[in-house]
Structure 1
């Protein structure tokens, strides 16, 4: 695998990792949450707890991602994670029991963490053959897979729900499944297809170099401020992508507009790299994170401040086009601060810090919204957490980054 085209194709194929783990398993839940909540009689706290379970599983998976990769090989562990996540999507469709749903969401989180973290390590290793700018492009394409998953979910799930009026799906062969259950079946089918595509790409992808001997004793403080800011990113961003559809429906937005909104968010997420990539290249990972999380906070609070349809779509463009670039910036920061032998361990550590934040975030926002009887209040809280994270990451330093100046390529 030596040509630029081959490397970019591998990055696109492996983007099935974020497509399944984020686009389908985590974010598409927002499309199904209103119907699930209404049919199963949940509070906002209970609805948020399902994404908290997913995030808790993600945190657990991130903590063991590096040792799992060492035991099985990075490629095989990545593929196992994608398959586990897909199986959990199907399990979610087959029950309305709250406890089983919590377990299914947690299992999707574990598999999703392996697919996401280890896929990033595979792409980072493949990108090491080229220039730093090209490596960053590959990571941007990889993380853009989450936006692709959101776009596909935004096209498919509302179509499924529209064919399922009331509580019974009015389509042949549905087996009596209610609308939200059939929606999860459709997502599982997409996940299975994406996993097959990834398996084909792994045939031409080499595992990263084994971690160096220092992987067990490396100084986590080297990426401490970056990881701390990433924790607050996890706390803040997840509420918008969990509750925004329910918020829009509270404002009287119809299903067709919701579908269009979610597709816009997904397309913006896929294209966000082209807007933010040059900035990340100039500023470096940590300083770019500060800018991106500030912009993300503004996009999160916009629909609360201006409750009009045009503002909803502007918010979707801003949030969709920004949040994955925070992940890209974090990865660039880890690559600049740590040697190649610690990239997998560093990404896993930062992802665990992020996972801790997003584990608390959905429940916290749901609880806050219940207390104030307002989903809008929860979105305002999320924006405040994002601003706090933007400030927290400021002290992080990267090699070749002067105080207040641009970053050079590593």
Structure 2
């Protein structure tokens, strides 16, 4: 399969990539992460354990993993635009379902569909954004960072909406929040249909080249650990803030700081993302991410939690961008969609296991502090693994299958 030849000539690269990022805004920023904002109210109203609450993000991650597995074939079958738009529309429909029912099975299916749709939009949008960025080599890393700021927009917007909605309508109003987030997602989906995002995608039917896992196994392991580690923080930190006495304003401020951090990412890590030295860039960013996750262990004051949110957020959004930069540096353009999908699958397996395992640990030990300890440890191990990754030579890029 080959990446698109070139971006459409009728749109500026930055504007086009920002528009593509709305698929990640809806699928990830709102579809996946906003769940943390309503989790405490849903858990109390519906009588869930922490394991059950964690399962809702696990099933979402299962859908994301399944979507990543079939993303390349989906793009080949329906095209880039249809994959991005269709995946985002599926997310909107699933968000509406979350507002309509408190049934555990129905909610699980909705979270599953959210994962599937998010993966389609993210893999297709990420590969297309990488190609667009490559058309401006001198600004490639900055342009690519714009796409990965997309989830931050969703996190910021949902952080400003959900806590105050819950405060206004009172306990048991989690379904009102889902309606508000559904309407927000509809508004954010519209621009994807107003500009041309299709480009000349070509697929090579006769190619027998396959992505070789072994040369990047340690890097994939690091990305797996990132998936398992970050999701514990992003699933349970709002509950941790609330349990510590933080009201709607504190929850909104904490979550919004994570979202706002995404907008700093393109500038904060521009030099690091330009490092063509194997997994070094990812290791630096992931180490910073681990530090942010560990900070709440050192204090519970609002100021300290704010520092944690900023440090975690600035690095969190850059980790995914660093893996795409790694793919761009180490593989030819025709392999980008397959390589990005492989990275996403490794990440997806990690975030599938993370929430339910950490939820079970919390149920068993009785404190959310343990969730943060596990999160920080996994992220630190991921940084060490990424540090061990060297550049991939031509002989390690493909495995021929006859």
The two structures have a TM-score, normalised by structure 1, of 0.90
Closer/same/farther in 2, CA of residues 135 and 390 from structure 1, 3 Å limit: same
TM-superposed CA distance for 1:304, in Å, is: 2.1
Aligned to 1:176: none
Instruction: Give yes or no for contact 2:278–2:389 (8 Å, CA) kept in 1.
Output: no
Aligned to 1:174: none
1:206 aligned to 2:199? yes
Structure 1 residue runs of 4 or more that deviate by more than 4 Å after TM superposition: 1-5, 211-216
Task: Output one character per residue of 1:53-96: Cα deviation in whole Å (capped at 9) or x when no partner.
Answer: 10010000000000000011122111111110111111111110
TM-superposed CA distance for 1:125, in Å, is: 1.6
Q: 2:170 aligns with which of 165, 184, 209?
A: 165
Name the CA distance, whole Å, in 2 between partners of 1:25 and 1:284: 34
TM-superposed CA distance for 1:207, in Å, is: 4.6
1:182-201 equivalence runs, <5 A? 182-201=176-195
Q: 2:258 aligns with which of 265, 277, 280?
A: 265
* Partner SS state of residue 169, structure 2: coil
1:111 aligned to 2:105? no
1:322 aligned to 2:315? yes
1:123-162 equivalence runs, <5 A? 123-131=129-137, 133-162=138-167
* Partner SS state of residue 352, structure 2: helix
Instruction: Give yes or no for contact 1:73–1:207 (8 Å, CA) kept in 2.
Output: no
TM-superposed CA distance for 1:220, in Å, is: 2.5
Aligned to 2:87: 81
Instruction: Give ranges in structure 1 of 5+ residues lacking alignment.
Output: 168-178, 401-410
Instruction: Give yes or no for contact 1:139–1:328 (8 Å, CA) kept in 2.
Output: yes
TM-superposed CA distance for 1:383, in Å, is: 0.8
Aligned to 2:305: 312
Q: 2:348 aligns with which of 355, 366, 369?
A: 355
TM-superposed CA distance for 1:216, in Å, is: 5.4
Instruction: Give yes or no for contact 1:238–1:358 (8 Å, CA) kept in 2.
Output: yes
Moved more, 321-330 or 119-128: 119-128
Q: 1:281 aligns with which of 274, 287, 290?
A: 274
Q: 1:54 aligns with which of 56, 60, 65?
A: 60
Aligned to 2:231: 238
Say what the alpha-carbon RMSD is for the aligned residues.
1.8
* Partner SS state of residue 69, structure 1: helix
1:337 aligned to 2:330? yes
1:35-46 equivalence runs, <5 A? 35-46=41-52
TM-superposed CA distance for 1:194, in Å, is: 1.8
* Partner SS state of residue 304, structure 2: helix
TM-superposed CA distance for 1:273, in Å, is: 2.3
Aligned to 2:69: 63
Name the CA distance, whole Å, in 1 between partners of 2:141 and 2:54: 33
TM-superposed CA distance for 1:205, in Å, is: 4.2
Closer/same/farther in 2, CA of residues 4 and 76 from structure 1, 3 Å limit: closer
